[in-house]
């Protein structure tokens, strides 16, 4: 059963957060191991497996990027595993330049500006996904998701860099 079906939601890119929570809570009320204390072992085992699957589904669908990747995979778009080499030369160039900029940023304000730019790009690319899914343009979906993944990772790097700058300032 796929994550959407497990939560009784339509397999869509723009899952409503409140609807997702509601579906998840209702099903956890039914399946959470706390509901099976004192029940026979096979029942508890079944509940535990179901609760774990629900948590996996919820976690995946909660995050917009994870959800998009998951939906793409359901639709037969194959993405390379996380952390694999980027095979898109344009993206590679963008990534290298951004990394350079981040490396050279010496103040929190500079890092923040880079992070804000990345967030903007993330939002824009996410928004663009909708029409690509409608058109079922698999190569374009793949390209966009790879870029989103990179942007997400870069945002994390920027966060790390910011923390590092912050703590260095704190020490001096």
Q: Strand, helix or coil at 157?
A: helix
Interface with other proteins includes 51 (CB under 8 A)?
yes
Interface with other proteins includes 38 (CB under 8 A)?
yes
Q: Applying CB under 8 A, which of residues 19, 93, 116, 160 lies at the interface with other proteins? A: 160
Other C-beta atoms closer than 10 Å to the C-beta of 171 total 6
**Rounded-to-integer distance, Cα 172 and Cα 168, Å:** 6
Q: Applying CB under 8 A, which of residues 5, 45, 93, 135 lies at the interface with other proteins? A: 45
Under 8 Å between Cβ of 31 and 54: yes
Helices (H), the chain: 3-6, 17-31, 41-62, 64-74, 89-104, 108-135, 138-171
Interface with other proteins includes 101 (CB under 8 A)?
no
- Least distance from other proteins to the Cβ atom of residue 136, Å: 27
Q: Which residues bind other proteins (CB under 8 A)?
A: 21, 25, 28-29, 32-34, 37-38, 40-42, 44-45, 48-49, 51-53, 55-56, 58-59, 83, 85, 157, 159-161, 163-164, 167
């Amino acid at each position: 059963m796929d994550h959407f079906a497990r939560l009784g939601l339509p397999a869509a890119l723009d899952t409503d957060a409140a609807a997702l929570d509601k579906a998840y809570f209702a099903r956890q009320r039914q399946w959470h191991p706390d509901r099976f204390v004192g029940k026979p072992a096979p029942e508890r085992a079944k509940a535990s497996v179901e609760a774990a699957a629900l948590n996996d589904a919820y976690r995946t669908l909660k995050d917009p990027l994870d959800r998009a990747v998951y939906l793409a995979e359901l639709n037969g778009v194959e993405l390379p595993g996380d952390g694999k080499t980027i095979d898109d030369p344009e993206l590679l160039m963008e990534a290298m330049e951004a990394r350079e900029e981040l490396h050279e940023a010496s103040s929190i304000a500079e890092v923040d500006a880079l992070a804000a730019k990345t967030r903007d790009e993330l939002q824009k690319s996410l928004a663009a996904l909708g029409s690509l899914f409608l058109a079922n343009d698999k190569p374009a979906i793949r390209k966009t998701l790879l870029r989103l993944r990179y942007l997400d990772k870069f945002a994390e790097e920027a966060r790390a860099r910011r923390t590092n700058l912050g703590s260095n300032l704190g020490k001096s």
